Amino acid sequence: MNRKLLIALGASFFLLLVAIGIAGYVVYDRFFTPAFNVASSARLYIDSDDTPDSVRHKVNEVLSPKHPEAFEWLVKHEEYTQVLTGSYLFEPQDDLRTAVRRLKLGWQSPVRLVVPSVRTIDRLAQALSKQLMVDGQEIADSLTSPSYIARMGYTAETLPALFVPNTYEVYWNISVDKLMQRLTKEYANYWTTDRRKKATAQGLTPIEVATLASIVDEETAVNAEKPIVAGLYLNRLQRGMLLQADPTVKFATGDPTLRRILNKHLTIDSPYNTYIYKGLPPGPIRIPSMSALEAVLNPARHDYLYMCAKEDFSGTHNFATTLAQHNANARRYQQALNKRGIVR
């Protein structure tokens, strides 16, 4: 009898160990092993409109949990009731506990923000909003508010100089104020002592460098030409000549798509019309590119004073040291425009 009892107890204990082992394996498999059907890093974007239910839906849709029922149980167990906005990065090796706690505690990962070289503040606002949670109109409203701009130390005319096109890491749910603080810091980082010395050597302030760089960008999209164009305009400035930069006239007309500058355009009374007013315009005519900024700080040394688009419409230019040479280049370009029927 005792022997049978011992056998029964042993069997029961063995079965208990098996059950514990199975249960332990299930718990380990559900909560401590890679939890999602993703082959590479995946991002989950949670915005201010999301609720716990919509977050669970996004997790199921984007991450595809291997054990959805375990995910649902853990969400309830961890009392995930307060949604924290942000961009959350998940890796293939993440387990459920790590994933849920990341969402609950707001452990978001930064995103790469590209600040582009564009023509208007409105386009900049839209470009930034496409990469962040903040609405484009909110950015535009701030960057067109005279009081907001003044608090940053700029005017509507000089504001484009603040933005240094590059790629930065920020949090996806960053506010407009914090974004501007960050971009102001990046502006300060760009303007090192060495760059400020180079600007001073050209007789320019950082804002004037950005202003000239914006003209260079509008004159040519060919990076190899930018130091040449920058050097040309610096030559004119140093000689006290009118810049006579066509892009500034286009800006004054409000139509940057003009391909042919006519006499009527040259007489527009605007501080941006460098055919009338000496020196640089009041501020950048666009957000200048990094290549144009560097071209102004490191211009090519030459004697060119004039430039004209090449008649082959390659996007490059003929440069000249004398007005006679320039007029010959201009005639060839005008003839090419006439041949193509381009009147504006």
Q: Which of 107-111, 283-287, 300-304, 307-311 has the lowest mean pLDDT?
A: 307-311
Query: CA-to-CA distance for 182 and 171, rounded, in angstroms?
Result: 11
Structure tokens at 171: 């949090």
In percent, how much of the chain has pLDDT > 90?
72
Nearest-CA neighbor of 306 among 282, 328, 286?
328
166: confidence class by pLDDT, cuts 50, 70, 90: very high
User: Regarding predicted confidence, which is higher, 308 or 198?
Assistant: 198
Averaged pLDDT, 329-339 = 88
How far from each other are the two terminal CA atoms of the chain, in whole angstroms? 110
Query: CA-to-CA distance for 310 and 241, rounded, in angstroms?
Result: 23
The residue extents of the domains of the chain are 31-109, 111-190, 193-340
Q: For 31-109, CATH number?
A: 3.30.1490.480
Q: Look at residue 342 in the predicted model and tell me its pLDDT.
A: 75
Q: Look at residue 344 in the predicted model and tell me its pLDDT.
A: 57
Query: CA-to-CA distance for 274 and 242, rounded, in angstroms?
Result: 6
Three state DSSP letters for the chain: CHHHHHHHHHHHHHHHHHHHHHHHHHHHHHHCCCCECCCCCEEEEECCCCCHHHHHHHHHHHHCECCHHHHHHHHHHCCCCCCCCEEEEECCCCCHHHHHHHHHHCCCCCEEEEECCCCCHHHHHHHHHCCCCCCHHHHHHHHCCHHHHHHCCCCCCCHHHHCCCEEEEECCCCCHHHHHHHHHHHHHHHCCHHHHHHHHHCCCCHHHHHHHHHHHHHHCCCHHHHHHHHHHHHHHHHCCCCCCCHHHHHHHHCCCCCCCCCHHHHCCCCCCCCCCCCCCCCCCCCCCCHHHHHHHHCCCCCCCCEEEECCCCCCCEEEECCHHHHHHHHHHHHHHHHHHCCCC
Q: What is the pLDDT of residues 58-96, one digit of tens each?
A: 999 998 988 888 888 888 888 888 999 999 999 999 888
- For the chain, give the mean pLDDT: 90
Query: Counting every residue, how long is the chain?
Result: 344
Q: Look at residue 7 in the predicted model and tell me its pLDDT.
A: 65
Q: What is the pLDDT of residues 86-120, one digit of tens each?
A: 999 999 998 889 999 999 999 999 999 999 999 99
Q: What is the pLDDT of residues 178-229, one digit of tens each?
A: 999 999 999 999 999 999 999 999 999 999 999 999 999 999 999 999 999 9
What pTM was computed for the model? Answer: 0.85
